């Protein structure tokens, strides 16, 4: 199973990916997680990426592509992968196709988790994240239930930044829907429902 997850920030792609990983043992490759880890480690890539992330802007293509190529070469990605947050535009999609072809691999599907913008703004602006392990929860959770770390609101989860993220997504990423539809591998699920219901549809669309 080699798939790309599509959808706006906050559509619930990560949640669905985590369940697929748990059930089917493939690698979950989240560019958001990779970039946040680089920022926390204050690596050269992390320092360069942070200024874009804090403003709710997209990190430049080459920084992300280099990171994803390295991750795809890891052992756990050899039996399958779920790309979450990449590609973000058609240029990256073409590059991904080229890189996979060079590895003797190809995508099995592109899954779009579709959620209205107003729902996403409400979801993300109420979200809190653990500073230590990245666990996410609602606004009433002060202490992480997983590691007891401090819960805080990320800069890119503030309403004004979310609006900018959605505008950037619509401009840059939504054309991917047509790109993969043209390849005949696009699959769409309604993400504005109970998580279990959405997951059932995800598995059905992927033939799992």
What residues act catalytically?
A: 13, 88, 127, 154, 165
**Residue 55 CA to its chain's centroid (Å):** 18
Task: Report the Cα–Cα distance between both ends of the chain, in Å, rounded.
Answer: 10
**How many residues belong to the chain?**
208
SS3 at position 187? strand
**Buried b vs exposed e over 50-61: b needs ≥16 C-beta within 10 Å?**
beebeebebbee
Dihedral over alpha carbons 155, 136, 59, 106 (to 10 degrees): -170
């Amino acid at each position: 199973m080699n798939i790309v997850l599509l959808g706006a920030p906050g559509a619930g792609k990560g949640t669905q990916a985590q369940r697929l990983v748990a059930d089917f043992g493939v690698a979950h490759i989240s560019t958001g997680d990779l970039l946040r880890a680089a920022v926390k480690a204050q690596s050269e890539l992390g320092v360069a990426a942070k200024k874009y992330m804090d403003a709710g802007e997209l990190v430049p293509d080459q920084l992300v592509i280099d990171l994803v190529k390295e991750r795809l070469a890891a052992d756990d990605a050899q039996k399958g992968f779920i790309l979450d947050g990449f590609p973000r535009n058609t240029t990256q999609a073409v590059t991904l196709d080229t890189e996979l072809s060079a590895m003797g691999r190809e995508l099995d599907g592109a899954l779009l988790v579709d959620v209205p913008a107003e729902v996403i703004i409400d979801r993300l602006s109420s979200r809190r994240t653990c500073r230590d392990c990245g666990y996410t929860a609602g606004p009433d959770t002060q202490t992480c239930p997983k590691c007891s770390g401090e819960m805080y609101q990320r800069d890119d989860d503030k309403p004004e930044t979310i609006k900018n993220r959605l505008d950037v997504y619509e401009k840059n990423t939504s054309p991917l829907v047509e790109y993969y539809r043209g390849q005949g591998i696009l699959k769409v699920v309604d993400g504005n429902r109970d998580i279990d219901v959405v997951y059932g549809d995800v598995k059905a669309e992927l033939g799992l």
